[in-house]
Amino acid sequence: MEEMNFTESKRMRELIAFTNQLMVEGLANEGDSVSVRLSSTEILITATPVKHRDITIENVSKVLISDDLSAHRFGDLHAKIYHARSDINAIITNHAPHCVGLSLTESKFPAVLDDVAQIIGPRVYVAPSSEIKSVLKCLKGHGACIVKNECVVATGRTVDEAHTAALVLEKGARAYIEGSVLGGAKKIPYFEAKLMRFVYKTKYSKADQEAKLQ
């Protein structure tokens, strides 16, 4: 990999740290992809499958969004999301067990936890496939979605925020499943959840995420 400037080096360290953290948390399998935007044309993306907590700079590729990324798991999906959404700077596609399991029976489910409402949105949507139009529709106004029987797609202004979205989404899926088993999960009212999402995006997290982009 060519020599990187300070910003690229910082993004590389963040990507490696949070990819390894996902594996520690049991939210990723070998070969799941994490990427971060470097510019309007370039991204860093995890490459070959690696063992638990073994990812290094050698397992990350610097590529053009316009490149053929089929060698990277869900790489083309990452590129298409970046192309369509200039506000997204980091993407995680991972295999969180409760999320993928829930996607087999649900097309959407409500936020039952405050942090899901804030970070993901009032609903979590399940795309029927990884076709870009379906995924973008499910991501509209939301921090993450699930692709049926395939993966979670978690996004953020930073890789830190995308990691938080992936973590919170799995937590919310588990809470929804457990609540349903016990007679029905208590959902947060839609407009209350929507307000929580709005406040999070425009106030609580804005300064923090902008600082992390420096």
pLDDT at 73: 76
Q: What is the pLDDT of residue 4?
A: 75
The pLDDT of residue 1: 56
* Structure-block tokens of residue 119: 């970070």
Distance CA 181, CA 136 (A): 31
Say whether domain 6-209 belongs to CATH 3.40.225.10. yes
Backbone angles phi, psi at 156, to 5 degrees: -170, 170
| Model pLDDT, residue 2 | 61
Residue 55 confidence (pLDDT): 80
Radius of gyration, alpha carbons of the chain: 16
> What was the pLDDT predicted at 152?
95
| 3-class SS string, the chain | CCCCCHHHHHHHHHHHHHHHHHHHCCCCCCCCEEEEECCCCEEEEECCCCCCCCCCHHHEEEEECCCCCCCCCCHHHHHHHHHHCCCCCEEEEECCHHHHHHHCCCCEEECCCHHHHHHCCCEEEEECCCCHHHHHHHHCCCCEEEECCCEEEEEECCHHHHHHHHHHHHHHHHHHHHHHHCCCCCCCCHHHHHHHHHHHHHHHCHHHHHHHCC
Residue-level pLDDT at 27 = 86
**What pLDDT was estimated at residue 206?**
57
* pLDDT for residue 201: 82
Domain boundaries, the chain: 6-209
What are the mean pLDDT values of the chain's consecutive 10-residue runs (214 residues total)?
Answer: 78 90 83 90 80 74 87 87 96 93 94 94 95 96 95 95 95 92 78 88 64 55
